[in-house]
Structure 1
Amino acid sequence: MTKDATQAAQEVGVTAPVPEKVPTVVVDDVHIKYRVQGGKAAKGSATAALSRMVSLKARRARKSGALPPGVREVHAVKGVTFTAYKGEAIGLIGSNGSGKSTLLKAIAGLLPATEGRVYTQGQPSLLGVNAALMSDLTGERNVILGGLAMGMSRQEIQNAYAGIVDFSGINEKGDFISLPMRTYSSGMGARLRFAIAAAKSHDVLLIDEALATGDAKFRRRSQARINELRAEAGTVFLVSHSNSTILETCERALWLEAGVLRMDGSAKDVIAAYEEFTSGKK
């Protein structure tokens, strides 16, 4: 990107920021569409799918812009616009399939916007993706690889190693850090990913449901670390289906519903409106 988030914020109508309101992420009228295979999977579907991909008919359909047979387009994010600032912790709430995780991937630069633009100040880190962990390697090796993937030096990783293991809590019931990650429960893996990601300060940290795992003690540690990251001039985005977690961790929330940004405001006000909406659907 040739423009940073500050320039983009000014161009989309945000007033010039005062020093304590420095934009880190600008999402400007973003639409995200993707294609999925529809219908029931046929026998030998992997082979059939490969045949369809390379078939002349499918190639002609792609060139013409038409959808190949059995494929449908999903409009996951629809014209979303907002600006995030340094020091903010922002919760993303909404029903399943509302576009929250898709939007995080777009902010992280992992999914291109079909329309509109995403501008960021610094490098966003999506928890569990930047720390690319491997199931056949031990937790110890994954701590090293995850740290290197985030740009830490080997000395920095060595200095942070004990703290990462302690923070994750995976060794509280045995020496799990020396075992392959495929032997971990999903909660243990999520806690180790968070511990690795939290070992480094981030310009923008994107967290997708990581705090839903673990006990109350781990959640308290995680929330305290998020507050530290914010104090270090970072911006944190948190996707969670737990409204209490959003209220405890974030002062601002974005409510997405069916890909549309329904509300942007204080976490308390947004969650109250969302709970009223969901109670009315029951």
Structure 2
Amino acid sequence: MMDEVLDPQGPPPVPTEKIPTVIVDNVHIVYKVYGAGAGKGSATSALSRIVNRKASPALTEVHAVRGISFTAYKGEAIGLIGSNGSGKSTTLAAIAGLLPTAQGAIYTDGQPSLLGVNAALMNDLTGERNVVLGCLAMGMSYAEVREKYQGIVDFSGINEKGDFISLPMRTYSSGMGARLRFAISAARSHDVLLIDEALSTGDAAFRKRSEDRIRELRKEAGTVFLVSHSNSAIREVCNRTIWLEHGVIRADGATEDVVKEYEDWTKKR
């Protein structure tokens, strides 16, 4: 289990010189859902309404993030915790530029990379081809890909029980695919790396490798955001933690303090 591989030293300290990398300023994110409750066949229903000139279904708005503000700094590893639907993954997607803000703004120094987006995997291609294409998509040269290829395969661990790297991605389990995505994304340094539940896949050895790599990324002057339901992973990797609940920030500070407050809150629910 995770507790069996934890480093008692915990996450390394943040550099004393604070250089902002991400500024989230009073951000609101609203999802617009058309025809909520229509269920399956909504496209067919929509076509029927057009043909019969019927009124469109009601528009439902979901206010997923409600006016959050924080600044992330160079060299930080920031955990995002909270119950399901609290706005953690939505916040990461907004920082990555994949979701627009309804109000407020997000400023970044450098290009944020959301794990699984820059290293998108194609099911009909082999793992080997996905490694090459994923690395090229992140801006590596062919020479860099050749240099890092075997390390990526070894890091992912997908070849430990056979030559899976030569098989199409559609033959992989979801866990194998997630491990390969992380291995590809972590093969280069990032200005801002956004990781959503990647450390929940694989065994303890893979999680330990992932945690060690995140520390290296911080040392290489990046900023790491980690969404995880594993408080152990948050404690081990992150020096700072933000607790989101119902789209608002409940706490932001030193990881041990915030995680303990969150755990005490969950016990009372």
Structure 1: state its 5+ residue gaps.
1-17, 59-67
Aligned residues: 254
1:259 aligned to which of 236, 243, 247: 247
CA distance in 1, matches of 2:28, 2:53: 30
Question: Could you tell me whether the CA contact under 8 Å between 1:201 and 1:229 is conserved in 2?
Answer: yes
Are 1:49 and 2:37 an aligned pair?
A: no
Question: Could you tell me whether the CA contact under 8 Å between 1:30 and 1:78 is conserved in 2?
Answer: yes
1:161 aligned to which of 149, 152, 170: 149
Aligned match of 1:103 = 91
**What's the CA shift for 1:136?**
1.0
> Residues 152 and 56 (structure 1 numbering): CA distance in 2 closer, same or farther, change over 3 Å?
farther
Amino-acid identity (%): 72
Aligned match of 2:37 = 39
> Residues 273 and 137 (structure 1 numbering): CA distance in 2 closer, same or farther, change over 3 Å?
same
2:231 aligned to which of 236, 243, 247: 243
Structure 2: state its 5+ residue gaps.
1-14
Are 1:172 and 2:169 an aligned pair?
A: no
CA distance in 2, matches of 1:214, 1:50: 44
CA distance in 2, matches of 1:54, 1:23: 53
Question: Could you tell me whether the CA contact under 8 Å between 1:89 and 1:250 is conserved in 2?
Answer: yes
Aligned match of 1:272 = 260
Aligned match of 2:204 = 216
1:135 aligned to which of 89, 113, 123: 123
> Residues 152 and 69 (structure 1 numbering): CA distance in 2 closer, same or farther, change over 3 Å?
same
CA distance in 1, matches of 2:263, 2:130: 39
* CA displacement, residues 63-88 of structure 1 (integer Å, 9 cap, x when unaligned): xxxxx524310000000000000100
Question: Could you tell me whether the CA contact under 8 Å between 1:39 and 1:70 is conserved in 2?
Answer: no
Question: Could you tell me whether the CA contact under 8 Å between 1:255 and 1:261 is conserved in 2?
Answer: yes
**What's the CA shift for 1:227?**
0.3
Aligned match of 2:9 = none
CA distance in 2, matches of 1:244, 1:120: 28
* Secondary structure, aligned partner of 2:135: helix
CA distance in 2, matches of 1:69, 1:78: 26
Aligned match of 1:119 = 107
Question: Could you tell me whether the CA contact under 8 Å between 1:140 and 1:177 is conserved in 2?
Answer: yes
CA distance in 2, matches of 1:119, 1:55: 46
* Secondary structure, aligned partner of 2:259: helix
Scaled by the length of structure 1, the TM-score of the pair is 0.86
**What's the CA shift for 1:154?**
1.4
**What's the CA shift for 1:115?**
0.3
2:18 aligned to which of 12, 15, 21: 21
* CA displacement, residues 125-152 of structure 1 (integer Å, 9 cap, x when unaligned): 0000111111111000100111111111
* CA displacement, residues 125-184 of structure 1 (integer Å, 9 cap, x when unaligned): 000011111111100010011111111111111111000000000000000000011111
* Secondary structure, aligned partner of 1:214: coil
**What's the CA shift for 1:50?**
4.8
CA distance in 2, matches of 1:56, 1:123: 45
**What's the CA shift for 1:261?**
0.8
CA RMSD for the aligned pairs? 1.8
1:194 aligned to which of 157, 164, 182: 182
Aligned match of 1:230 = 218
**What's the CA shift for 1:111?**
0.6
